[in-house]
Amino acid sequence: MTLNAWIPVFALMTSLIASLVIFALPEKGYRLRTAVNLVAALLKLGLVVVMVRGVFLGVDYGVSFTMVPGVTFVLKADAFSMMFAGLSAVLWLLTTIYAVGYLEDSPNRSRFFGFFSLCVASTMGIALAGNLFTFFLFYEMLTLSTYPLVVHRGTETALKAGRTYLIYTLTGGAVLLLAIAWLHGVAGDLPFREGGHFIDADPDIHRSLILIFMLLVAGLGVKAAIFPLHGWLPQAMVAPAPVSALLHAVAVVKAGAFGIVRVVYDIYGVEASSALGLLEPLSWLAAFTILYASVRALRQVDLKRRLAFSTVSQVSYIILGVSIFGPVAAVGGLVHLLHQGIMKITLFFCAGNYAETLGIHRIDEMDGAGRRMPGTSVAFTIGAFGMIGAPPLAGFITKWTMGSGSLAVNMDWVVVVLVFSSLLNAAYFLPVLYRLWFREAGVTWPHERHWGRLETSAWLYWPPLLTAAMTVMVGVLASLPFSPLSWAELIMLREYAP
């Protein structure tokens, strides 16, 4: 075993060990816990940076253990792994900082941060999994480690949301396991491979492959919140803001989307998926989800619920992108994995700031908040415009790339969906921005707190500003090497010419 083989293991272990250490720490060890959290997050970020550079240069990171004959546990890092791992590492650091400030003086912080690290370890495992079996292990670990976070507050609504969440995700997990087992029976233990495995599959197994694909998408679609499997997500809004931020931007929904991309590109292969006629229905489903969830978002009065439906809509961009048989459109879908994460985490951080600082939860309470909290509101504005797809922000790069790619393969209807989705996004974000900046504030806020010089606690103030700056940067500097767009292009280059 060389060092290269172990780097993915180390990257996985940082969050895992941090999690165990935090569980062991006493509830009062606030400083030590914060230190452990931040050191682990920085360490992981460093390891991911090393791996990104390595993957770019063509280094092979991988390690595998045979569990039982025919079933192997494989960790490896390819370009696509690093996309998800990078997202997870960067946003974990920021969310940790944010969560420290958000949960100041609240009970059960030890439990919270323990599961929080465990959840991040799961996403890392999902990113580095080298075959479906390994992927499944971490996928389920993610379910179990996020449940305590969703019900963290312990209220009646939180417990109810947690139940819904478990029912949905465990059922999804069972379906996924069934599909993986069936596929194992049909084709054996398949590692994720650029270009896939089924380009010249035996016609006898076509029917099975189609059915397995449907089951796989159904199982993964629960976490990716594809219609009609999205019902748990808006309910999970009762979780504290940092959890929502993580669930929406990084962990759960992205794990589902990531899995679907893996299945399409690295198990079946995009050509085989297209030949089996699997992509087109998937693209319709994604397009429908995009529009349906946006319409639902319009009618929400609670800010976080509106953002939740927006997530349902935006995650399906990724699915839509990869279900178009063409490299450019797929780049647009993949790049949204990062873009949506950065933008959405910004919006959730801001929603959390309004809730913590002013006690604002509903949209009609936001009048005039821009003047009271300019930093947070600027960040929110950038995030919202990014979601609308206004240039030169992250969302525009996604839409432009996906649009160009769809036109290149004569799927013009996708452009219409993109534009309609932009219109709907404008319809549910612009009124919020109007309230923020152009309405006069009421006499008092629902529940205001003060933090000296800044508009809110420094722990809460800087993360959204940083992610908002990233939203601008990944758009404006889209053509730099190692930008999300360039990285997505690298992935597709390797997928289409393995």
Partner 1 sequence: MMLPGSVLVLVAVCLPLLYPAMALHAGWVRAMRYVLPVLPLPALLLALGSEPGWQLEMPWLLNGGLWAMDELRRLFLLLTAVLWLVAGIYAVGYLTSHHLRRFCVFWGLTLAGNLGLTVAVDIGSFYSFFALMTFAGYGLVVHEGTNEAIRAGRVYLVMAVLGEMAILMGLLLASAAAGSQMLADLPEGIAASPRRDLIMALLIAGFGVKAGLPLLHFWLPLAHPVAPTPASAVLSGAMIKAGLLGWLVTLPFGEAALPGWGALMIVAGAVGAIGAAVVGVCQQRPKAVLAYSSISQMGLMVLMVGVALADSGRAPVLFPVIALYALHHGLAKGSLFLSAGMSLPAGAIPRAGAWILIALPGLSLAGLPFTSGALAKLAMKEGLLENRLELALASYLSPLMAAGVVATLLLVLRYLWILAGKLEIGDNPPMLVAGWLTAIGVSLVAFWWMPWDVGGLVESPVWLPAPYQLWALLWPMLIASGLALLTVLASWLVKQR
Q: Least Å distance between CB 438 and partner 1? A: 6
Cα–Cα distance list, 62 to 44, 59, 85, 250, 416 (Å): 17, 10, 15, 23, 42
Residue closer to partner 1, measured from CB, 197 or 372:
372
In the bound state with partner 1, the residue whose beta carbon lies nearer, of 5 and 407, is 407
Cα–Cα dist 238/241, whole Å:
8
Token pair of 19 as six digits: 């999690």
Q: Helical H runs in 265-411? A: 270-275, 279-298, 303-322, 327-353, 369-372, 374-388, 394-408
Q: Token pair 């053509």 is at which residue?
A: 479
Q: To which residue do tokens 């099975």 refer?
A: 208
- Return residues touching partner 1 (CB under 8 A): 374-375, 385, 389-392, 396-397, 399-400, 403-404, 407-408, 415, 419, 422-423, 426, 430, 437-438, 440, 475-480
Closest approach, Cβ 336 to partner 1, in A, equals 16
Residue (314 or 377) nearer to partner 1, CB: 377
Nearest distance from C-beta of residue 317 to partner 1, angstroms = 15
Residue 12 makes CB contacts below 8 A (sequence gap 6+) with: 75, 121, 124, 125, 128
Q: Which is nearer to partner 1, 170 or 407 (CB)?
A: 407
Q: Nearest approach, Cβ of 406 to partner 1 (angstroms)?
A: 9
Q: Which is nearer to partner 1, 51 or 474 (CB)?
A: 474
Residue with smaller CB distance to partner 1, 155 or 479: 479
Query: Rounded CA gap, 37 and 33, in Å?
Result: 6
> Both tokens of residue 265?
């590109």
Tell me whether residue 223 or residue 336 sits nearer to partner 1 (CB atom): 336
What is the SS3 assignment for 368? Answer: coil
CB of 480 to partner 1, least distance (A): 5
Shortest distance (Å) from residue 427 CB to partner 1? 8
Read off the tokens for 100.
């420290």
Q: Smallest distance from the beta carbon of 388 to partner 1, in angstroms?
A: 8
3-state secondary structure 69-138: CCEEEEEEECHHHHHHHHHHHHHHHHHHHHHHHHCCCCCCHHHHHHHHHHHHHHHHHHHHECEHHHHHHH
